[in-house]
Structure formats: structure tokens, C-alpha cells
Amino acid sequence: MLHGRDRERAQLDRLVAQARAGTSGALLVLGEPGIGKTALLRGLATTAQSGALVLRTAGVESESPLPYAALHRLLRPVVSLVDGLPAPQARALGAAFGLVDSPTVEPFLVGVATLSVLTEAAEPDRPVVCVVDDAQWLDPASANALLFAARQLSADPVVVVLAARAGGPGRPAFAAEGLPVLELGGLDEAAARQLLDERRDGDLLPDDVAARLVGDTGGNPLALLELPGALSPAQLDGAAPLPALLTLTAGVERAFLDRCRRLSEEAQTLMLVAAADATGLVDTVRRAARALGVQPRAWDDAERSGLLTVTGETVAVRHPLVRSAVYQAATSFERRQVHQVLADALGGRDEDRATWHRAAAVDGLDAGVADALAKVAARAEQRGAQLSAADAYERSAELSTADAERAARLFGGARAAWAAGQAARARTLAASARELASDPLLRADIDRLRARIEIYVGSATDAHRIFTVAARNVADHDDARALEMAVAAAMTRTYGGDSGAVMPNDELARLLVPASRDTPRTACLRQLLEAMTASADTDWASATATLDRALAAGRQVEDLDVLGNLGNAALHLGHDAGARLLYAAMVSAAREQGAGMVVIYGLQRLAFAHFPAGDWNGIRACADEALTLARSVGQPTLTAAPLAWFALLSALTGSDELDEHLGDLDIVVAQHPLGILTDPVHDLTRWARGTRAAATGDATAALHHFEALRVPALQRMTAVDRIDAGVRAGGRAGDEDGSVAALTSFAAASKLPWALADSAFARAVAATEPAQASEEFETAVGLYRQAHRPYAQARAELAYGEFLRRTNRRVDARAHLRSAVATFADLGAGPLLGRAEQELRASGETARKRDPSTLLDLTPMERKVAEMVGTGLSNKDVAAQCWVSPRTVAFHLRNVFTKLGITSRTELARIDFS
């Protein structure tokens, strides 16, 4: 029975009760070894079995390199449900489990499929309870899939409870950010004494001995059970002094080891084989032990000691501390010998496990084992188990005899580590690979990876330098690689990453010349490079004309990288419609492929493209989904841009949540490098602060914030704000830094309506003659309308209305002020709406009271579900696209119906969400 855990058991019981009521729950139980995590989870599984489907698995330390092993064990009882999943999910999970062949597996889709299986297995009257012990030893692929599912659960009768060792010196904590945590401490004195007395069958210990044991162990149940066995009868009776220090983990391991050493020599060998084994299968352990001369009687000896348990076809060491004590106490020769016999026992049946055992049995370099391990790595990479692949590639490199093979395998390890989110490890492996590589093409591929690492978690300036130098170095060997990296360097520059490195003009010119063997992708990249080269030279006319050709060529390309780069170029050069279209296509294609990380980045970029069109709901939806997904995949760095967008929206709408969002963002920025997003994120916060300052009447502070923006695209988006703040701060058009002159030059060359409108607006507010100002305002308003930039148009109409009222043209002012009020009300732009309404009243007219649309009451997820259902999609279809469960979709849909006062999908289809 469990002692002293009533509070913890009640918390777990509440989770199960909530699941029976249709509300999901997740919990991470943390505690030191032996604290009772396993016993607590065992109790949960036992009590939940009546009325719930209990799925169980546990991490095994020696199994951690084997992808999806723990997840397969967890889902084995419900694996038949895989066939009923959406095809991409079924294919991903089937390939992960080795049930179907697939060239690649997207890990994100495995997580989505795991969520789908768990929610499909659950019934309203029979929830699913997932119990996962020793989570710190889960293979990383299983851990990522399970954590994604746990974080995405919402309105489903599913509970996920994981237990893991708490972090400590040299032992990092299990990374499960976002999950509620139950920290399991030691037993209180009464419960600890009860456990001690129960263990001794009522033979009570002297108070001073019991108090010493309880105090030194901190109430750790395993220590209380095992340490007395290491004491003499005289010490237990209080007749002899206790040891000076009863250390916890070391003491328990020593107690286990003492018990093991009292076994026969053959039984000790059997214990070592079982400790090194990862299958938990009697047949595997028996084969390996027999090869070392272990006879059947040794099994009886080990079982009687309580250190080994055999149940049917499975064998288990009593506790992980037994496993670690036995394994660490063996000599290196003994461990290698055991791994070799385990490899032989598994040969032909489980080659991946067998290869890992052979790698552990090697003493020195071994080309054959290195080759085999490289194949294991490739298979893991194909299945989307990137961390397992990284481990295998790295160990394969260590065993390789030739530098060329070692370099290629180190690069493989770096590539896989980066895909798994281990940036520091990827950077180190890539640097090691670069030092060994002699093949120019391999060096180029390594450099491309190094630059990408810098883009996302390092320095955009360093990324620009690496891309540029790599493009120069590989230009004579591979035109396509050089072109791709030259484009990447140009794109990096638009985000503020300019190292000063350049390609010689002759090499750059050569890359721009079309070749007969060009694919649609290569042709598009050449046009894109030409456009960005012209942009860098401020040849805006050529840049915009060439961009149009690149966009046309891009219609034949479905590559995610190309779509993203085309979108970046369109955003940089002010091609509003092109940017929205390309980013939306990128997100859509990434969804279909299950490329979750690309979806997150794509949503962040799409938010930028929504702003010029005045689609603040679109921004909110992008930010909300990107934030949710970033948290679900455990990538706190990727929460920065969504939080920055929420901060800006709060400032624009006058929400009092601005400081909260800025505070959350400050924490992320302080703890995580943002890479290429550094300037965009900081610019969004400057924009937010400038907007708030302008709303409170501090035009000088507003101008300071707007002039500090660094990203050209955002400088252009805030041109109206900067100009307006400049005028209010000191009667100037805000051109102290020459930004208005640069804008005017850009507008004249590009002929883009919005740029011409910005230029006209700047001239209007700077004009000294009323007639000129009026003419320029009219031009600006008309061009903004033509450019479909409603927010900028409303800003111009507000300024124009203010100007007309000041010049006693009140009747003329009202039309523009009415238009501004209507747009600001539609957008929810509270501060500017108040200012426009005040101006309208001053002109002699009171703004009509507008009923706020109930659509504004919808959360971003509710709005998204409503829009998708309104197109005729089923709940299951929506769930598959949004990576949630059908029950979660139904939950949001019920809220939509309630808020909108409708009762059917037919009514929903009639609503115009635009």
C-alpha cells in the first residue's frame, strides 16, 4: 500500500474524474529516484482500470537510441485505430512503428497521429488514461510525440500522466515545458515510521535509529526500505553506532549492489546481462546469458533475491537503481563482453538493437560497425527520429577509420541534431565536420547548415557571411548550390543581417545567366536573386519588375523554401498581394506535408503580410496558432514573434494586456536567442510602444520608437505613424533620418500605389500651403483605396479631416472623418477611433453608435473553426488540418453557435467572415 500520499492520489483521481466529464488533463510527476513515482503511477493505473482504458509504457535507459519504441508499447493495445486516421497521419505512425514503408516520416505528424489515436480510443463513458514512467529515459522520438499530444489535448476524455526524475547536478531535468508539475517529496515522519515498521513485520526500531533513518533519507521510501538491509542487527537495535553518513542514491545503490554480490557468480552475470538488455524479453536475456555459461539455476537465485522478476515472456530488473548499480560496477571488459553476446542474441531479429550492442562492445575503431551504425542512423532519420539518428551518426563517426566518412557522418549527426532542435550540438558537430571535409560539395552543404543554425538561433550577420563565402567557394563546382546560397544571403540581408561580405561582380553575373538545364525552381531562384541584387543597389524599378517575373516563375514551384523566399522578397518590396498569397501557400503546403516547424514560421510571416490589408483578425489567428504550436512542440524561442504581434495588437486596439504581453516577451528574449527574428521582434515591440505613446499624446516618445525600427518592410508599414508622430512632435514630417526621402525615391521608382500614397501623405502634412496639402491628401486617400490598405487610408482620412476642420471646411471634413470612424470601428482600433470620433464631434456631427459585431467575440480558434466549417468541412476534416481532435473542434463549434446565436452549419455558411 501507499503511505502518506493521500494528497497526491486525490490529485490524480481528480484528473481521471475530469476526463470522465469530458475535460482533458496532463501532469508531470517529478521526484528523486526511489521517492515513489512508480508506486504512485501503479496506484493510478489500478484504480483507473475500472471504467477507463489504461495505456502504459516506461522509458528504458538502454533503449533511448531506438526511435518510437516506448510510443509503440503505449499504443500497442489500440494500434488497430491507426488505419482509421487521416491518410497522412496513418502513414506517418505506421512508418514510425515499422508497419509500412515510407521514404520519410515527419515527426510532427507522428505527434498529431498520437493525439488522434488517443482521442479516438476514448469514449465519454470510458476515458483513456496514459501512464508513462521513467520519462527521462524515453527515446526522444516517443517523448516528443507524447508531449505534443499532451499539450494539444483540450476537450477530450484523455489523461496523460508522466513521471520523471527531477534534475540535479550532471542530470538535466526532463524537458516538458507547459505541463503542470507535481513535485513528489519525501514521506512525512509518521508515514515514514509506518513504512519502516511494516517492513520489519512489527519489530519496531528504537526511536533514535528510526529518526536517524528518516532524517538521513529525507523520507525517501526506497531508501527506507533498502538501507536497513545494509545495517547490522546491532546497528538496527541501537546497540552499535550507525554510519556517519547514510547517503541517498549512492547508499541505495550500494545496498542493492551488496545484495547482488551475495548471489552466485552465474546469477551476478545474469543480472549484468539483464541490466544491459533493452528488450525486456526472457528469450533474449536467456540466449545471451547462456553464451556466457549461465545455467538455469542462476535464474532461480536471482529471482529469489527480489532483484529480478520474470513474468511470462518478460524479465525486469527490480528498479532502475539496481540496473545502474550493477552495470556501473562491472568492468569495461565485462560490459563489452555482455554487449557482444546480446548483439549475437538479437542478430537477424532486431538488427538496430544488435548494432547498438556491437557499437558498445567495440574497443577502438571499427569500420564495419561504423558502417552498420550509419545505416541505423539513416533508417532513424527516415522515420523522423532525429535525435536517435544524431546519436547513431555521431557514434558511427567515432568508430570510422577514414576522415571522409567521419566528416560525412558528423554532418549527418549535425543535420539530425538540428532537425531535432538541438542547436548547440548541431553547431558543434557541423564545425567538426567542416574541419575534416575535403569534398567542396560536402563543405558547401555543411556551410549551408551552419548558416541556417545562425539564422534561427544565432546571428543573422554571421549567417550572411557564411552563406556569401560558401556561395563563392562552391560556384566553380555546383552552380545550383551557389545560386541557392546567394539567394539565402540576399534574403538574410533584408532582415538586418549584413556582414559586408559580397560576391565578386563577375561571379554574381554568372549566377544570373539562365542555363539550358535550368529547372523551374532554378529559373525562379535566378529571377529572385536578380530582384534582390537590384534591391540592394536601390534600383527599385528593376527590383519590382524582376520580382514580378520571379513570382510568375514561382507558380510552377512547390518547394517550401522557395515559397518562403518569394514571400520574403514580396514583403520586402511591398508586393502586398504576392506576400499574402505566397505565405498562405507555404503554410498550406506545410500543413499537407505535416511540416509543423515550417507552419509555425510561415504563420509568423503571414501575420506580417496581413497587416497592410488591415486583416487584424488574420494577424490574431496566425499569432494564436503559431503560439499554440510553438508551445506544443516545446520551442519557446518560437513564441517570441506571436507574443510581439499580440503586444502590437494590444497597442493598436487599446487593450490593457499590452504590458502583460511585453513582460512575457521580455522573459523569452532574455532566455533564448532569436536569430534572424531578432530585429523583426524588437521592431514589433517598438511599434507597439510607439503606438501607445501616440495614443497617450506623447508624440516625441512615439517618434523615437518609430525611428528606431530597423527592418525595411516594417519601416515602410509604419511610415504613416512615423510621419504623423513627427508632425505632432514638432511640426515636421519626421524626416530627420531621411526616411521620407527614401520612401519618396522608392515610390517614384516602384510605382506601387501604397508607396505613392505614403509619399503623398508625407507631402501633405509637410505642406505650408492649404491648397497643396488638400491636393496631396486627396491623392493619398485615393491611392490607399486603390492599394487596398484600409488602416493607412483611415489614418490619412483622419489627418485630412483634422486639416479640413482646422481650415473651417467642416462639412468636407465630416465625410472623411465618418469613413475613418467606420474603419477604426471595424478594426477595433480603440485609441484612433476615440480620436476620430472626437474630431467628428468637433466638426459638428456625432458619430452614430455602432453595435459591435459578435464576430469580434470569437477567439482566433473559434473563428478559424467557424470559417472552415462554413466552407462545408466536417469536424474530422477540420481537426486533421488544425492538428487537434474532432471533440476539440466540436467544443469550439458549440461556442461559435452560442456566441453568434445560430443553431446550424447552414446558418454558419451564410456568414461573411471577411
The tens digit of pLDDT for each residue in 299-335 reads 999 999 989 999 999 898 888 888 888 998 999 999 9
Would you state the pLDDT for residue 202? Answer: 63
Alpha-helical regions (H) of 573-611 = 576-593, 596-610
Cα dist. 648→130, 611, 718 in Å? Answer: 40, 11, 12
pLDDT at residue 727, rounded to an integer = 84
Query: Degrees (nearest 5) of the Cα angle 203, 204, 210?
Result: 135
| Domain 6-183 bears CATH identifier 3.40.50 | yes
- Distance in angstroms (rounded) separating the CA atoms of residues 391 and 63: 12
Quick check: 156 pLDDT over 80? yes
Q: What is the SS3 assignment for 537?
A: coil
pLDDT: which is higher, 82 or 885: 82
Instruction: Name which of 172-181, 406-415, 601-610, 691-700 the model is least confident about.
Output: 172-181
User: For 855-909, CATH number?
Assistant: 1.10.10.10
When pLDDT is averaged across residues 861-885 and rounded to a whole number, the result is: 87
Q: Could you give the 3-state DSSP secondary structure of residue 185?
A: coil
495-527 core/surface letters (b: 16 or more CB in 10 A; e: else): bbbbbeeebeeeebebbeeeeeebeebbbbbbb
Spell out the domain ranges in the chain: 6-183, 189-246, 257-361, 622-851, 855-909
What average pLDDT score do residues 823-828 get?
Answer: 93
pLDDT bucket at 739, cuts 50 / 70 / 90: low
Region of poorest pLDDT, from 138-147, 151-160, 283-292, 726-735:
726-735
For the stretch 277-295, pLDDT in tens is 988 899 999 999 999 999 9
Please report the pLDDT score of residue 847 as a whole number.
65
**pLDDT grade, residue 235 (50/70/90)?**
confident
Instruction: Read off the pLDDT band of 193 (50, 70, 90).
Output: confident
Distance in angstroms (rounded) separating the CA atoms of residues 757 and 753: 6
H helix or E strand, kind and range, residue 163: strand 158-165
| Mean predicted confidence (pLDDT) in 114-127 | 93
Q: CB neighbours (10 Å) of residue 630?
A: 26
- For the cut 90, the answer to whether the pLDDT of residue 30 exceeds it is yes
- Non-local CB neighbours of 539 within 8 Å, separated by 6+ positions: 749
| Beta carbons within 10 angstroms of residue 43's beta carbon | 18
Percentage of residues of the chain with pLDDT beyond 70: 96
Nearest-angstrom CA–CA distance, 560 and 587:
9
More confident residue, 192 or 703: 703
User: Among candidates 748, 767, 752, 760, which has minimal Cα distance to 795?
Assistant: 760
The pLDDT tens digits for 399-428 are: 999 999 999 999 999 999 998 888 889 999
HEC states along 130-195?
A: EEEECHHHCCHHHHHHHHHHHHHCCCCCEEEEEEEECCECCECCCCCCCCCEEECCCCCHHHHHHH
Collapsing DSSP states into helix, strand and coil, what is residue 284? helix
Q: Are 93 and 82 in contact (CB under 8 A)?
A: yes
Q: Contact at 8 Å (CB) between 214 and 61?
A: no
What mean pLDDT comes out for the span 520-532? Answer: 94
Instruction: Please name the amino acid found at residue 285.
Output: V
Q: Most confidently modeled of 99-103, 513-517, 532-536?
A: 532-536
In this predicted model, which residue has the larger pLDDT, 236 or 614?
614
| pLDDT of 767 | 84
Distance CA 656, CA 641 (A): 19
Cα-Cα-Cα-Cα dihedral of 851, 854, 857, 862, to 10°? Answer: -160
Is 70 exceeded by the pLDDT of residue 735?
Answer: no
Residue 53: pLDDT over 80: yes
Amino acid making up residue 637: T
3-state secondary structure 773-825: HHHHHHHHHHHHHHHCCHHHHHHHHHHHHHHHHHCCCHHHHHHHHHHHHHHHH
Q: Tell me if 286 sits within 8 A of 258, measured CB to CB.
A: no
Q: What is the pLDDT of residue 245?
A: 53
> Mean per-residue pLDDT for 71-90?
92
How would residue 1 be classed by pLDDT, with cut points 50, 70 and 90?
Answer: low
Q: Which CATH number fits domain 622-851: 1.10.3470, 1.25.40, 2.60.40, 1.10.286?
A: 1.25.40
> Does 515 or 853 have the greater pLDDT score?
515
| Section 150-167 average pLDDT | 92
List, in sequence order, the alpha helices (H) in 437-478: 440-457, 460-474
The pLDDT confidence band at residue 734, using thresholds 50, 70 and 90, is very low
What digits encode the pLDDT tens for the residues 492-520?
998 888 888 888 888 888 898 888 888 99
Q: Are strands 53-58 and 128-133 parallel, antiparallel or unpaired?
A: parallel
More confident residue, 739 or 821: 821
Q: Residues 823, 790: contact at Cβ < 8 Å?
A: yes
DSSP for residue 138: S
Binning pLDDT at 50, 70 and 90, where does residue 232 land? Answer: confident
| pLDDT range class, residue 775, cuts 50, 70, 90 | very high
- Residue predicted with more confidence, 265 or 852: 265
CB atoms within 10 A of CB 477: 13
Question: Is residue 172 exposed (0-12), middle (13-18) or buried (19+ Cβ within 10 Å)?
Answer: exposed
User: Does 744 or 664 have the greater pLDDT score?
Assistant: 664
Query: Is 70 exceeded by the pLDDT of residue 737?
Result: no
The more confidently predicted of residues 738 and 113 is: 113
Query: Distance from first CA to last CA of the chain, Å, rounded?
Result: 61
Q: In terms of DSSP bridges, do strands 314-317 and 308-311 run parallel, antiparallel, or are they unpaired? A: antiparallel
Task: Give φ, ψ of 636 to 5 degrees.
Answer: -60, -30
8 A C-beta contact, residue 410 and residue 429? yes
Cell numbers linked to 840:
467628428
Number of C-beta neighbours around residue 427 at 10 A: 19
Mean pLDDT for the stretch of residues 559-587: 94
Q: Give the mean pLDDT of 735-752.
A: 80
- Mean pLDDT to the nearest integer, 806-826: 93
User: What's the CA gap between 697 and 373, in Å, rounded?
Assistant: 66
CA distances to 389, 399, 498 from 395, in Å: 10, 6, 37
Query: pLDDT tens-digit profile of 602-657?
Result: 999 999 999 999 999 999 999 999 999 999 988 899 999 999 999 999 999 999 99
| Mean pLDDT, the chain, integer | 90
Query: DSSP readout, 317-370?
Result: ES-HHHHHHHHHHS-HHHHHHHHHHHHHHHTTT-HHHHHHHHHHH--S--HHHH
